[in-house]
């Protein structure tokens, strides 16, 4: 069966009759725009099933049902956003991530701290997964057992809806997690599967013996080798091996089964209907499994994401997708959609390459890998963007492209070893206090946990009572913020970092956290400490006030907003990172010294980009002299340079 206009016309007629929808209504107009792609992708994935057309029809019916349930005020917002597809990127967007319980107690509590968000000028909040999970271990919310209710103690779905609405009135959008790759082993589907229900057993990957699992294991890496080695878990109730790529209690969904897709699309649309503006598609590279591969980034994953996106663009076109694809730089890019598919997958993707290269530059004091990696990132069209960040709830994985690492003169293995040693504080002269995460003796991999401030040296400096080191640590934090807030894309701040919260070792006393060092950087928000933010002498105040001032400046500098173009340039000094943001009206040059020594940059840099002297640093409001043809940067200095008008 091939796509034809007649097929679509017939489908519309059927749906119209079934759901009493007016033919010309926006729903069908939108469906008409995406249907051919939807059809082709669906057929590609499920065309071998004898009833695939019936199932596609059913999926379209689901879209109508969810559309009919969508509240009018959300539909109104959708229409406004449809008229301006780059609505999100043509503004000064800044996000803030929080665990609801750790930051505000419960969802309503978020509103009590609205002023705090307002003080920073936050434009969207990412609530870490807040749906129902089993007691005890649940991977920080990523083992969802029910999307129809919230985690114990957080409140009701109605509360969440109200909070979404209230935040929206404040101009703050809502980002929610959609855990698409797996469910908790306590999810209703998993429970039914354990009871022997074949329909639900087909929702997961289950094998009666080790034959197939062993084949898979030959090529699949391990995500949590310390706590959940291997990719399969034996389930005694049904005497089967279930695929569990993450933890043993997170069962991977089987997207070969079109009913899984159907259910997951339904949940995505329910989250959209709650009032979410952005959905974070968790662990997206893992959605499709194929024997003989790493089971990551398979081409079918992109087909699935395109289907999700098509469905959302029919029912809730105002909703954006964020890809959480912490993979190789080349693979990350594909989640924007490739070629003519740009805009048909995710609107934002975590810029993990940028993040890890910033940490690389801080440790090596050299910007070669950072510059090279970023030069490899293509220019993005204005309706998609990077989500830039320094820290998040996860570890830092050293996911560089080995080719880049070699090209800048390092040996990949040794270089990773160095970075781990450095951030765990073992390397002579290191200031960092990170922790190892998931060391894998089989391949030598180690990832790094730790809060922004602790990795940047603040914890060690405070312990040692070393004022000079404390000052440097704060400068490192601010250097990173200055780059984050001027780099092209949408910046996402991680809660607690704004007041320099340190590692929190209390997880070691908690049974369900002790084996997962990521909890060291998932503290309870310290509101007492936050009060010190108004004291400009305190550490909290120094970081917070500088950050707020940067955020203020960014708000007033359109040239720094996500849609404005950027080029990475060679500063001529291996310790100094440089890039230009430029629009038809304005130009801004960012120069950042990653070393703890004074550095010199040639004034020719200005000529090269067509910037005329005199110039000033917008951050300090100070004119920057170019004497004897050079500019002199203090240790960790970062300037946002503009022509003095």
Binding site for ligand GLC (CB under 6 A): 139-140, 142, 179, 223, 246, 282-283, 324, 326, 393-395, 397
Give the DSSP letter of residue 561: S
Q: Alpha carbon of 217 to those of 37, 229, 399: distances in Å?
A: 34, 11, 21
Element (H, E) at 510: none
Under 8 Å between Cβ of 188 and 168: no
Count of C-beta atoms within a 10 Å radius of residue 48 = 9
DSSP letter at 254 equals: -
* Angstrom distance (rounded) from CA 554 to CA 172: 17
Tokens of 525: 């928000």
Residues 44, 39: Cα–Cα separation, whole Å:
8
Q: From 305, 414, 265, 420, select the one nearest 45 (Cα to Cα).
A: 305
- Which residue's structure tokens are 């051919």? 36
User: 479: part of which helix (H) or strand (E)?
Assistant: helix 467-486
Quick check: helix, strand or coil at residue 323?
strand
Nearer to ligand GLC, 322 or 578 (CB): 322
Looking only at the bridges linking them, the beta strands covering 565-570 and 490-494 are: unpaired
Helices (H) and strands (E) in the chain, counts: 24, 25
Query: CA-based angle 379:383:384, to the nearest 5?
Result: 60
- Cα 435-439-444 angle, rounded to 5 deg: 125
Closest to ligand GLC by CB, 67 or 189: 189
Strand 490-494 and strand 385-389: the pairing is parallel
Determine if residue 632 is left, alpha or beta; phi over 0 gives left, psi from -120 to 50 gives alpha, anything else beta.
beta
- Residues recognised as catalytic: 282, 324
Min dist. Cβ of residue 383 to ligand GLC (A): 25
Q: What are the residues whose beta carbons fall under 8 Å from the beta carbon of 569, sequence distance 6 or more? A: 578, 579, 580, 605, 608, 609
Q: Which residue is nearest to ligand GLC (CB)?
A: 142
Q: What are phi and psi of 150, to 5 degrees?
A: -95, 165
What is the DSSP secondary structure assignment for residue 560, as one 8-state letter? Answer: G
Tell me the angle at which helices 26-46 and 258-274 cross, rounded to the nearest 10 degrees. Answer: 150
Give the separation between CA 553 and CA 556, rounded to whole angstroms: 5
C-alpha distances (whole Å) from 139 to each of 151, 191, 228, 515, 598 are 13, 19, 12, 11, 44
The count of other CB atoms within 10 Å of the CB of residue 201 is: 20
Planar angle of CA 207, 208, 211, nearest 5 degrees: 70
- Written as one string, the DSSP assignment of 173-206 is EEEEEE--SEEETTSHHHHHHHTT-HHHHTTB-E
């Amino acid at each position: 069966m091939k796509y034809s206009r007649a097929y679509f016309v017939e489908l519309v007629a059927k749906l119209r009759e079934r759901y009493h929808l007016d033919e010309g209504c926006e729903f069908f107009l939108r469906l008409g725009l995406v249907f051919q792609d939807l059809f082709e992708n669906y057929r590609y994935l499920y065309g071998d099933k004898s009833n695939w057309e019936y199932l596609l029809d059913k999926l379209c019916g689901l879209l109508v049902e969810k559309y009919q349930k969508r509240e009018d005020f959300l539909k109104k917002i959708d229409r406004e956003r449809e008229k301006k597809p780059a609505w999100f990127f043509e503004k000064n967007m800044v996000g803030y991530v929080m665990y609801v319980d750790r930051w505000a107690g419960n969802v309503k509590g978020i509103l009590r701290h609205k002023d705090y968000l307002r003080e920073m000028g936050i434009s969207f909040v990412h609530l870490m997964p807040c749906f129902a999970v089993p007691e005890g271990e649940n991977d920080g919310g990523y083992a969802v057992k029910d999307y129809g209710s919230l985690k114990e103690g957080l409140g009701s779905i109605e509360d969440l809806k109200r909070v979404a609405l209230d935040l929206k009135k404040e101009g703050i959008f809502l980002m929610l997690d959609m855990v698409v790759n797996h469910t908790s082993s306590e999810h209703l589907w998993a429970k039914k599967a354990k009871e022997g229900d074949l329909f639900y057993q087909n929702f997961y990957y289950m094998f009666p013996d080790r034959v197939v699992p062993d084949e898979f294991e030959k090529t699949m890496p391990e995500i949590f080798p310390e706590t959940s080695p291997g990719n399969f878990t034996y389930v005694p109730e049904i005497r089967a091996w279930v695929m569990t790529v993450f933890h043993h209690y997170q069962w991977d969904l089987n997207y070969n089964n079109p009913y899984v897709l159907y259910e997951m699309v339904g949940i995505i649309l329910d989250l959209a209907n709650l009032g979410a503006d952005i959905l974070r598609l968790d662990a997206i590279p893992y959605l499709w499994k194929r024997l003989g591969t790493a089971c990551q980034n398979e081409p079918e994953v992109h087909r699935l994401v395109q289907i999700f996106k098509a469905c959302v663009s029919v029912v809730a076109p105002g909703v954006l997708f964020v890809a959480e694809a912490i993979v190789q730089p080349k693979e990350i890019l594909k989640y924007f959609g490739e070629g003519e598919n740009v805009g048909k997958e995710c609107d934002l993707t975590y810029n993990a390459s940028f993040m890890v290269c910033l940490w690389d530059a801080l440790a090596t004091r050299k910007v070669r890998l950072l510059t090279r990696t970023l030069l490899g990132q293509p220019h993005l069209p204005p309706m998609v963007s990077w989500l830039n960040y320094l820290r998040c709830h996860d570890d830092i994985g050293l996911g560089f492209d080995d080719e880049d690492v070699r090209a800048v003169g390092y040996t990949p293995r040794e270089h990773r070893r160095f970075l781990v040693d450095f951030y765990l504080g073992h390397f002579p002269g290191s200031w960092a206090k990170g922790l190892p995460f998931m060391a894998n003796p089989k391949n030598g991999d180690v990832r790094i946990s730790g809060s922004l401030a602790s990795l940047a040296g603040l914890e060690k400096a405070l312990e040692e009572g070393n004022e000079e080191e404390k000052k440097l640590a704060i400068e490192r934090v601010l250097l990173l913020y200055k780059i984050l807030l001027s780099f092209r894309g949408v910046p996402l701040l991680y809660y607690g970092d704004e007041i320099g919260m340190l590692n929190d070792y209390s997880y070691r006393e908690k049974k369900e956290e002790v084996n997962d060092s990521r909890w060291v950087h998932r503290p309870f928000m310290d509101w007492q400490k936050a009060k010190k933010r108004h004291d400009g002498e305190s550490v909290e105040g120094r970081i917070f006030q500088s950050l707020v001032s940067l955020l203020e400046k960014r708000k007033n500098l359109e040239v720094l907003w996500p849609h404005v173009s950027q080029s990475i340039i060679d500063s001529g000094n291996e310790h100094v990172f440089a890039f230009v943001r430029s629009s038809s009206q304005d130009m801004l040059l960012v120069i950042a010294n990653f070393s703890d020594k004074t550095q010199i940059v040639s004034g020719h840099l200005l000529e090269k980009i067509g910037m005329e002297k005199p110039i000033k640093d917008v951050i300090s409001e100070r004119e920057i002299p170019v004497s004897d043809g050079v500019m002199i940067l203090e240790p960790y200095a970062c300037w946002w340079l503009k022509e003095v008008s």
